[in-house]
Chain A
Amino acid sequence: MSNEIQLWPFAVYTLSVFLIVAIMVILSHFLGQRHKEKETGEAYESGIMTTGTARLRISPQFYVIAMFFLIFDLEAVFIITWAIAFKEVGWVGYLGILVFIGILLVVLLYEWRIGALDYAVSGKKIVKKFKQLNKEVI
């Protein structure tokens, strides 16, 4: 196989994909029925009257996950570049990536220990605390 990649089929493909998606959106816009009743404009929340807006504050746990993603995806970039060239760099490169992944595993262990990877309160911990409190009262 030649090293030259033919790009124009991909361009045609991309254009057709966008075209299909656009047709799907636009066609249903014109084909669909329209009706307006008293409750049409209400948000669907299982039949309960909506109160307030849905622009709520987001729990900090989600920001923690986003940070982990940044840390480990950046790490993945380094591992990917090593993985493609690891035969050329040999054992020296392997040693390097070993240290690198070792540090990351330590970071992961640290996050694990401080409880950053627990996304909900553990039932066991609650029971333990409850028993402890009971003893103190008695």
Chain B
Amino acid sequence: MNPIVQNLLIVFGVLFGALTMAAGLIWIERRMLGLWQDRYGPNRVGPFGIFQVIADMIKIFFKEDWIPPFADRTIFTVAPAIVVATVLLGFAIVPVAPNVFVVDFNIGILFFLATSSIGVYSLVLGGWSSNNKYSLLGALRGTAQMISYEVFMGLSLMGVVMMTGSFSLHSIVEAQQGMWFVVPQIVGFVIFIIAALAETHRLPFDIPEAESELIAGYHSEYSGMKFGMFFVGEYLGITLISALTVTLFLGGWLGPSFLPPFAWFSLKTLVVILFIVLLRAALPRPRYDQLLSYGWKVLLPLSLLNILVTGAVILATG
């Protein structure tokens, strides 16, 4: 096949795949939560309620696109776009199969950290420009939580980088031929999962939007598709961190050869996503100050020690 056509196919395939996965995830999550909470979940629209997502999407496009008269119009409109755009850009570096990726940056991990940091702006600007006290509180909490956990997220990945000697995600997957990094880097893996959940402010760490305290937190004043974009952004975020967990720690596309690499990657990603949904069903929300103290007092020293121990072991064994 013509390489240009092939590249274009990959580009739009990744984009389409990410968006479909995010939309499908809404249905998967509601069904799985229903299963674990002993109820049905959506089951009316189409077989097993699978068209619920499409119905919701049509509905949300026709909802009133309300911009509060007291809000800062420009920033209010830009904020939800930032989260969707940055998370989607993060997908560009994920290698789905040995030759299927949008771009193989040699600074792959740093690119991911950068895009996820820019995502914070969406929350800050959205909460601040809404000019609503609950939104402001949500935005403040969210900022504090996200910039705190960003530090540990970056540090927890350094063990993987040291074992590979490269930031490129392609090389990282290839370095896991012998053993998945989840075994030698179990500490880094656990810290990464916790930090990534806090970074996407996903339950149980959904403190910036804690419904029982802050109405809907930073997106209280959002409605229609703008709210939908925050929503889609969250689900895209879950898909992205699951895909990255698989790439960095669970061997990416590697697996026994009876399934193609792409299938292994999708299967592993789906398992991680289901695990994250299970976390939502199983865990209560911690208190805000507990979350921050836990991060600074436990996760930061642990991730630093993890780096030191990894370095010493690798240098000692040669």
Contact = CB atoms under 8 A, between A and B. Distances in A.
Interface string A41-59: 1011110000001111011
B215 A46 contact: yes
Contacts of B135: 54
A33 B63 contact: yes
Interface in B29-81: 60-66, 68-70, 77, 80-81
Contacts of A16: 11-12, 15
Contact of B61 (A27, A35, A90): A27
Interface residues of B, number: 79
Interface string B218-238: 001100111011000000000
B65 A32 contact: yes
Nearest to A66: B147
Contacts of A28: 60-61, 63, 65, 224-226, 228
Interface in A85-133: 86-87, 90-91, 94, 97-98, 101, 104-105, 108, 111-112, 117-120
B133 A98 contact: no
A3 B272 CA distance: 32
Contact of A79 (B70, B287, B296, B307): B307
A113 to B, nearest CB: 12
B62 A32 contact: yes
B209 interface: no
Name the residue in A16, A28, A55 with the highest tally of chain B Cβ atoms < 10 Å from its Cβ: A28
A17 B311 contact: no
Interface in A6-26: 6-10, 12-14, 16-18, 20-22, 24-25
A138 interface: no
B225 A94 contact: no
A30 to B, nearest CB: 8
Nearest to B89: A17
B210 to A, nearest CB: 14
B17 interface: no
A18 B225 CA distance: 16
Q: Is the interface of A mostly helix, strand, loop or mixed?
A: helix
Interface in B121-171: 130-136, 140, 143-144, 147-148, 150-151, 154-155, 158, 161-162, 165-167, 170
Contacts of A33: 62-64
Nearest to A12: B11
Contacts of B154: 73, 76, 80
Given A9-B7, A83-B307, A90 B315 contact: yes
B63 A21 contact: no
A135 interface: no
B301 A62 contact: no
A26 B144 CA distance: 31
Name the residue in A54, A84, A86, A112 with the highest tally of chain B Cβ atoms < 10 Å from its Cβ: A54
9 closest Cβ contacts across the A-B interface?
A: A28-B225, A119-B289, A120-B289, A10-B103, A32-B65, A83-B158, A69-B147, A17-B88, A9-B7
Given A80-B154, A119-B288, 7 more contacts: A24-B228, A29-B65, A33-B63, A45-B133, A86-B311, A94-B312, A112-B296
